[in-house]
Amino acid sequence: MKTALITGSSRGIGRAAALRLAGDGFRVVINYHTSKGEAESLLDELSARDFPGCAAVQADVSDRAQVEKMFALAGGVDVLVNNAGIAQQKLFTDLTEQDWDRMFDVDVKGIFHCCQCALPYMIHRKQGKIINISSMWGQVGASCEVHYSAAKAAVIGLTKALAKEVGPSGIQVNCVAPGVIATEMNAQLDESTLCGLKEETPLGMLGAAEDIAAAVSFLAGENSRFITGQVLGVNGGMII
């Protein structure tokens, strides 16, 4: 049985991806930072569905020592889904250096740490899949989210470059760029803002975490064997 490690998978997109990949036959390792209760609840749900061997591991992906410990506990990882991330809306002129550094520590450095820890096993086996979660704002930028947009753009650049570097070792590196998804992260938006976002989206609706999980499932599966270095936009047509 292959193992999939999903960072930030106690809730939202990560949780949906964990359920989907477990259903695809993967042994899933749930990573969480502070949401221990949600992670344990998800682990109980996976167990109740008779998905064997799953585990939950606490780690702050921005901390190298914690990431190394997480991978040691997880064992060999065949599919790495770099989903852990933070977001913040703030005027660029009000951003602090701490705001900027924390955004890049989690959203970019976290991926750097996880990829470096996952790759030795994948290179040894001459196969593996890395799936990075970016954002449509990493493609086009968002007002009042400059540091978030810059970090998610960096994820796209990392994906493309790493795909070229590890492709000869049989490893695929791809990226999913979600649009506006109905998750806890966007629950803070008021109803009028959400209605406006729906109107801006050609399909006339917000996405669900399960829509992103379906894209992750495709990229983690055998039907994507000739795809690497790509950015799969799951945004209802908002960014084309």
The tens place of each residue's pLDDT in the chain, 240 residues long, gives 999 999 999 999 999 999 999 999 999 999 999 999 999 999 999 999 999 999 999 999 999 999 999 999 999 999 999 999 999 999 999 999 999 999 999 999 999 999 999 999 999 999 999 999 999 999 999 999 999 999 999 999 999 999 999 999 999 999 999 999 987 766 667 788 888 888 999 999 999 999 999 999 999 999 999 999 999 999 999 999
Number of domains in the chain: 1
At residue 193, the pLDDT reads 81
pLDDT at 107: 98
Identify the CATH number of the domain in which residue 43 sits.
Answer: 3.40.50.720
Is 148 marked active-site? yes
**Domain that includes residue 139, residue range:** 3-177+208-227
Q: What is the Cα–Cα distance from 4 to 52, expressed in whole angstroms?
A: 13
Single out the catalytic residue among 132, 148, 216, 238.
148
- Is residue 240 included in any domain, yes or no? no
| Cβ contacts of 62 within 8 Å, gap of 6 or more | 102, 105, 106, 109, 110, 113
- pLDDT, residue 129, reads 98
Angle of CA points 131, 133, 134, to nearest 5°: 130
The confidence score (pLDDT) of residue 231 equals: 98
18 in Cβ contact with 5 (< 8 Å): no
Determine if residue 112 is left, alpha or beta; phi over 0 gives left, psi from -120 to 50 gives alpha, anything else beta.
Answer: alpha
Domain-located, residue 184: no
Chain position carrying tokens 């949401």: 35
pTM (2 decimals)?
0.96
- Res 187: pLDDT: 65
